[in-house]
Structure 1
């Protein structure tokens, strides 16, 4: 029997049967599940994240997780419900993570000196101290982490755009930005409070 014949027979199977075929190593099962539920996952991700590239990235993450691990239990409910819950949960996690980073940089930007002239020696000293702390914090980062954070927050690029510009995987951009933010937060935490 040809691979196409077995694939077309598989499309008539129930989700739980296709999932079992996926777990048994039949790669065509993932394509069938993606065809069935890719639009559902992407649509929900886009509705929550409001950014097409982020929704595409999350859709890929969801189906890779389905393929690589035993996270779905067919006895506990339908695959469509499972994918909906998983997509919603991970999208909200991404928003929370993004909002935490934005709040951190909003607080951080308040201590960055502006172009305005200060009137008193005390204000000048305060601006100089903040500038020095920020330079020291940025110096603690690796060149690659600093570059990605500058592209994210000063140039306003998305992580996907940075990955394209630097010709590196999106996961690498996400890891470097997360690690850089954690180091900055740790270093500047006492200073900002």
Structure 2
């Protein structure tokens, strides 16, 4: 099996077979991340395609000395999804042609709105984590990777991965409950 670095190098030279190999290898992982971020399968599919278009046009920017290919690809996907979320949050809700009767049909149910708010709050909390904690938490919970897989992929000791996940989860819990004024006892 050809490694990711070699495939990325071939994609940078315009090799379509290498591109297809990377798509086949990583599209489901990227899609899972995007679905977790966007909560919309159609939007996740669109951003997935945009992510791989960016891979095709920017493959020469991948530097194996800075980290694993999959992390680089997931970073492109995450940034593309965040761009999409920012764009949608600035989109006007009311167009000139909207009739008042259709406005009532477009009001979301309260539970949908509060669930969306919780997801956005969680997403912001994850993004505010230190990079080393955010990276392992995203790989574990968005990509469903085991701690051993993360350790191998990032070339870290398993204990380091476990510590980063634990510290990140504790920090997330603190941030999550902070707004509710709940006191948390630090683990020993």
TM-score by length of 1: 0.47
TM-score normalised according to structure 2 size: 0.48
Bigger RCO of structures 1 and 2 (CA < 8 A, at least 6 apart):
2
